[in-house]
Each structure stands twice: as C-alpha cells, then as structure tokens.
Amino acid sequence: MNTQYELNKNLAQMLKGGVIMDVTTPKQAQIAEKAGACAVMALERIPADIRAAGGVSRMSDPKMIKSIQQAVSIPVMAKVRIGHFAEAQILQAIEIDYIDESEVLSPADDTFHIDKTKFKVPFVCGAKDLGEALRRISEGASMIRTKGEPGTGDVIQAVRHMRLINQQIKHIQNLREDELFQAAKDLQVSYELAQYVYENGKLPVVNFAAGGIATPADAALMMQLGADGVFVGSGIFKSGNPEKRAQSIVKAVTGYTDASILAQLSEDLGEAMLGINEQEIELLMAQRGI
C-alpha cells in the first residue's frame, strides 16, 4: 500500500479512545471540541432530522463545512452519498480531514461504492458484517464504523453489527489455513484480506461504533464489545443538556470498564433524545450499500 494510505490509517489510530460528534453549526462544533470530542462530523442536518424530514439528503454546503473548519482545531469530517465520487472530490478540494461515505445520506449509486484508492483524503465507511467491512477496505477505506441505525437513539443495531463482525473474525481465526480460500469467497473479499484477519484477529484498520448511541452507558457498552471509539450523531444535540451529555460520553469512553465512574457520569444528564425503536421506523438506513 502507498504512503498516503498508511498516513490515513494512522490518523484513525490517533482518534482511538475518542468520541466523534455530529455538529451542524460552528457554535455546536465549539461546544463539541470543548466537551472533548476528538473530531467533529459537519453536516447540515443530524440523522434524526434527516429521518424526520424525508426527501433526498446530500453532501452539506462546502461553505458551512468551511465555517466549521475555521471554528475548531480538531479534525473535521463530512459525509458524501454512497457512490458519489464527485461529492468526494469537492470535499477533498476543501481539505476535509476524513470523508464518511455514508448510508445516512441518500445513496447515489445502488451498485458501486466510491473507488477510494483514487483519493488522497481518508475515508471511513459503515459496515454491518465482516464482508462489508473488508469490501470497503479493499475499495480504500482507512477506517470502519458499524452502521448501527442512525438517528434513532436505539443502540440495538450497533450492538448487532459489532458483535457480528467480532464473531466472524473469531470464526476466520478458527479455520484451518486451507479453508481460507472458501471463506474469502463466502465473504466476497480477497484472499489477502481474509488471510490478514486469520493472522491478526482484527480488521486491518480502526473500527468505531456508530448509529444509535445516546448515553454514556451506550458508549461504554460499545467499547466493552470491542469498539476502538464511538461516533455520536443525534444523541448529543437532540438531548436536554448537550454540553453535559457530550462531556459524560467522552469520559465514559475513557473509563468504560469502571462502573463507579460510569454511574457518576450517568447522573443528572437531563432528558435523553426521545428516539424511536427499530420496529417503529420505516426506513432502515443500514440496508443501504452492501
């Protein structure tokens, strides 16, 4: 792999143990940075509002993203539609730190993802299972996150995806070496990537949890299930006291194994986002792009 790809994987390594927060204005970005976010995701509408508004959802206005880049000193990420390489070219031109090729926006292509190897800027992509994660990596993603179910405040899908990816990794490790060829075929991934998982027992890139995380306890749950860090979207700025909730989630990701710390962090956070259960929603964003 080339040097730029290594540097892009390295940036994701620096984000580990941290919280990446969705923000829609420079003011929210500053609140997030002050609360201890290790990066922000700049977007016009958070997933809960995208879900409520319906219609086609696209890349955010570059002017709005630039105003957030000026407001904070931490890395700034932004989303493009699945397969929309022109949107990605635009974000690269404004020197975004990370592009999220995201199922939260309306997909632009129902067959092809972006060829991310053609870009200098790094990409993070969502995955529900090991096959998806490794396919995105072969397309050039330098960071993976669970898809979860964005904009719901319901953590069940992020849990399902994280557990499944880890179970599938363990399954690969338990195979005989001569069974890897068929395993690669079953996962629809290259032999080399299957072999990497077999030898190392992990993905070749950092893996964050995302989609439905709303409380310090949710964040700690995902960390204990093996996430390298968490994305929090609607959970913060849809809640009663965003500053306090953001700070508590940051500390929960650092102290995720210490229940007495988690108990303190969970106290008196004000109202959590109301959220919706997965059975109550019509649009499953996680089904987009496989």
Partner 1 sequence: MKKNIGVLAVQGAFAEHINTLKKLDINTIEIRKKSDLTENHIDGIILPGGESTVMGKLINELGMLNSLKKFIQDGLPVFGTCAGLILLAKKITNDDNVYIGTMDIEVKRNAYGRQLGSFHTNGQFAKLGQVPMTFIRAPYIENVSKNVDILAQIDNHIVAAKQNNMIVTSFHPELTSDLNIHKYFLDLI
Task: Answer yes or no: are the C-beta atoms of 144 and 127 closer than 8 Å.
Answer: yes
Q: How far is the CB of 240 from partner 1 (least distance, A)?
A: 21
Query: Is 244 among the residues known to form the active site?
Result: no
CA dihedral 278, 281, 286, 290 (to 10 degrees): 120
Binding status of residue 149 toward partner 1 by CB under 8 A: no
What is the Cα Rg of the chain in Å? 18
36 makes contact with partner 1 (CB under 8 A): yes
For residue 273, what is the DSSP state? Answer: P
Of positions 28, 29, 33, 137, contacts partner 1 by CB under 8 A: 33
Q: Compute how many other C-beta atoms are within 10 angstroms of the C-beta atom of residue 121.
A: 21
Fill in the per-residue mask, 168 to 207: x = in contact with partner 1 (CB under 8 A), - = not in contact.
----------------------------------------
Q: How far apart are CA 55 and CA 43, in angstroms?
A: 16
Q: CB 68 → partner 1: shortest distance, Å? A: 13
Cα 3 to Cα 8, 16, 85, 130, 183: the distances in Å are: 9, 20, 22, 25, 29
Q: How far apart are the first and last CA of the chain?
A: 24
Tell me which stretch binds partner 1 (CB under 8 A): 49-57, 105-113, 158-166, 252-260: 252-260
Q: Which of 78, 82, 88, 97 is close enough to bind partner 1 by CB under 8 A? A: 97
Q: Which of 79, 147, 238, 251 is catalytic?
A: 79
Positions that interact with partner 1 (CB under 8 A)? 3, 6-8, 10-11, 13-18, 33, 36-39, 69, 73-75, 92, 95-98, 120-122, 250-251, 253-255, 258, 261
- Which sequence positions are flagged as catalytic? 79
